[in-house]
Structure 1
């Protein structure tokens, strides 16, 4: 990827603010996500990371500020419309249908990308194009052999893989990932880190993550969020050695 391509701004967040009563969860947050990169968002618990992701995805409406995707404002669009524009999301807490099979979950993702409405699962599963799209996504994340399994029977790591597969069925222009490493062991984190490193070439990733080993291995840029405010943005080395970031993490993330 050329430097010109990498500089393409896929997501732009400008002066975003959000309050819940007296609590200001987001304070004039500005950041961007560029083609081919992983931009990590770090911060202690309660810093406002998930609240920011919800505003970008359309789940929460900010009090002020603006969001654009590929140069198009999305402030008036709801979560579904933003997803159809290419905003793919994985969740801190799984949003999968646990009683459905792995393939059924992926097919429903593909149906959502088409703009279809879920009525009868049996009819949806007869759509060869949707099934093929879902099977391709499962193959991408290494879950082809698990297609017939009930999602509730998957390991935690496999459910994370399935969430990514569901997002892939929507051919996203960017990914919002909220703590994808949560609950994974060392082996699972390492495998997912390798997959995300490849995935960035298909669509850039705004990554919320507490696993600092994964953050430092993956991120092109890091923004540190403390009390709803971005206190620093920079490369891994710049953030690792930033005095304000070190103070904010003192006693919690001494590796930073």
Structure 2
């Protein structure tokens, strides 16, 4: 059996009468991309926040390589190996590409940044940052102000920052958002390579990308996972077509 790296078990989260996640269980296995799809308001963002520790669950638990994460905050979970990219960019736009990557590497140490200039002369941090930029194809843009990057390049930089954390798992929230055809094609290629470094839990609305990348797909509707299966199984499931996919399934 393929090793389970990340496990979320029987997660519940309610906001008043609304059950945002209702008995949600899923796992992520070594070397795979597991896509989480569902309509707007299905509970995907709530689930990711429960996994990352930004939101406390009402009940249930999350484990990373068998280690319980209950009671740990986002920073502690990141240091243990949860690497996240966001739907809305969290980059420092006035800093250079290299500076953003170095800040990510500093976060992996769990060190508070006191003086920026000395940090930028730290050879070990620079090495980690430069390696991550090389992995995503941004080495030539190391000195570029982040605000001057294209949208697609910023998405690549977000992945590089996550890589500096030496993650055991990637949690990626709509990495295709706002990308054109060329940018999406590049991102798909990058994610196919990254899965060898760490498995990816992918939240994505671009169905072409989902079916091109995913080994398994879980469908979340009204806070509940209604099905998990291979892309082929999801494509032909009539309940999923009615609930979510409709005409969005690629031929």
CA distance in 2: counterparts of 1:242 and 1:225, whole angstroms: 14
Q: Is the 8 Å Cα contact of residues 170 and 198 (structure 2) preserved in structure 1?
A: yes
CA distance in 2: counterparts of 1:218 and 1:253, whole angstroms: 16
What are the superposed Cα offsets for residues 148-182 of structure 1, whole Å, 9 maximum, x if unpaired?
11111111101100000001011100100000000
CA distance in 2: counterparts of 1:250 and 1:157, whole angstroms: 26
Match of 1:95 among 76, 90, 109: 90
Runs of 4+ deviating beyond 2 Å: 250-256
Which position in structure 1 is the counterpart of 2:19? 24
Match of 1:182 among 167, 177, 196: 177
What is the Cα-based RMSD across aligned positions, in Å?
1.2
Match of 2:147 among 139, 152, 169: 152
CA distance in 2: counterparts of 1:173 and 1:251, whole angstroms: 34
Which position in structure 2 is the counterpart of 1:143? 138
Which position in structure 2 is the counterpart of 1:249? 244
1:77-226 aligned within 5 A? 77-226=72-221
CA distance in 2: counterparts of 1:253 and 1:15, whole angstroms: 29
CA distance in 2: counterparts of 1:193 and 1:233, whole angstroms: 22
Which position in structure 1 is the counterpart of 2:53? 58
CA distance in 1: counterparts of 2:157 and 2:38, whole angstroms: 26
CA distance in 2: counterparts of 1:45 and 1:242, whole angstroms: 20
Q: Is the 8 Å Cα contact of residues 207 and 249 (structure 2) preserved in structure 1?
A: no
What are the superposed Cα offsets for residues 170-213 of structure 1, whole Å, 9 maximum, x if unpaired?
11001000000000001110111011011111100000001111
State the shift of 1:112 in Å.
0.6
**Are 1:232 and 2:233 counterparts?**
no
State the shift of 1:77 in Å.
0.6
State the shift of 1:253 in Å.
3.1
- The unaligned stretches of length 5 or more in structure 1 are none
CA distance in 1: counterparts of 2:201 and 2:110, whole angstroms: 24
- For normalisation by structure 1, the TM-score amounts to 0.96
CA distance in 1: counterparts of 2:171 and 2:152, whole angstroms: 18
- The unaligned stretches of length 5 or more in structure 2 are none
